[in-house]
Amino acid sequence: MHILDYGASFLSGVAPFNTVRFWVESRLRVIDETSGAFADYYQCASCKSEDTFAEHDLFFADNYDFLPIFGPEWGAIFRRHAYLSEGYRSVLPAREMWGGQRLRLRERPDARELAENEEICAATAQWEPLVARSEIRDEVAGRRAILEYPVKTMNVQPDTLKYQVDTGPVVFPDLSLPLDRQPHGFAPAFVAFNTPHFADFVIEAPTAVTNAAGQTCDTYHFSRRASLPARNTLFALPDGIPSITR
């Protein structure tokens, strides 16, 4: 399982009505440790609800965020309105999502693991693209997950060699579910860590909000927090392409 170059990895549908291309934003591998079986899921970049190929008024008036996740047999689509809706998460066969998918993944066998804080801070200062992996486990269910994602925001203290990843979205799994039911438990999340041994997640969930007049309504927001034992690893991707630094 080589590290992916997330700047050059894509997924596309095959349906002639819309051979849509998505940018792959993170990858999730769920592993059943009893059988050794696993499944890979690809979370793609969000977009907005649209009237595709219309002549005008391309965005729907009742607009929502649209986030797709593709798996080998099943996938999930999140449609987040400004309010709670029954269609927030749809789980459907992958073959029904734009006629099935083609993957164009750029693997990076040359990715360099950053084992020490000094290396992490140096790679950040040298503008190297960074990719992280966070591995979590459900001991009772006997399943584990490897979340892999590009590091979009990295905090560093050069003097103390401290760092902190804060990035997303990623796919947060419910490892209590069996392998073939995984998409039913997916949720978008953001992840943060500053050590190799734990990761904190803030997960999208129904959330009550109150306005200045004291009126309350429910919406979806990144509000549910989880702190989990994890094995976190950071990688740098050698570049070599000249850049303009200002």
Instruction: Write the pLDDT tens digit of every residue in 19-38.
Output: 999 999 999 999 999 999 99
> Per-residue pLDDT tens for 157-178?
999 999 999 999 999 999 999 9
Local structure of 181: helix, strand or coil:
helix
> Per-residue pLDDT tens for 176-189?
999 999 999 999 99
C-beta of residue 159 within 8 angstroms of C-beta of residue 216: no
| Beta pairing, strands 89-93 & 187-193 | unpaired
| Tally of helices (H runs) and strands (E runs) in the chain | 1, 19
pLDDT computed for residue 215 by the predictor: 86
pLDDT computed for residue 245 by the predictor: 62
Q: Is the pLDDT of residue 244 over 90?
A: no
Tokens describing residue 199: 């990761």
The answer, yes or no, to whether the previous bond of 169 is cis (omega within 30 of 0) is yes
Local structure of 49: helix, strand or coil:
coil
Compute the 3-state secondary structure of the chain and give helix, strand, coil in percent, each to the nearest 5: 10, 50, 40
Domain extents for the chain?
3-236
C-beta of residue 2 within 8 angstroms of C-beta of residue 111: yes
Q: Is the pLDDT of residue 223 over 90?
A: yes
Dihedral sign computed on CA atoms, order 106, 110, 115, 120: negative
Query: CA-based Rg of the chain, rounded to a whole angstrom?
Result: 19
- How many CB atoms lie under 10 A from the CB of residue 59? 11
C-beta of residue 171 within 8 angstroms of C-beta of residue 146: no
> Per-residue pLDDT tens for 139-156?
999 999 999 999 999 999
> Per-residue pLDDT tens for 83-97?
998 899 999 999 999
Instruction: Go through 177-213 and write b for each residue having 16 or more CB atoms within 10 A of its CB, e for each that does not.
Output: beeeebbebbbbbbbbbbeeebbbbbbbeeeeeeeee
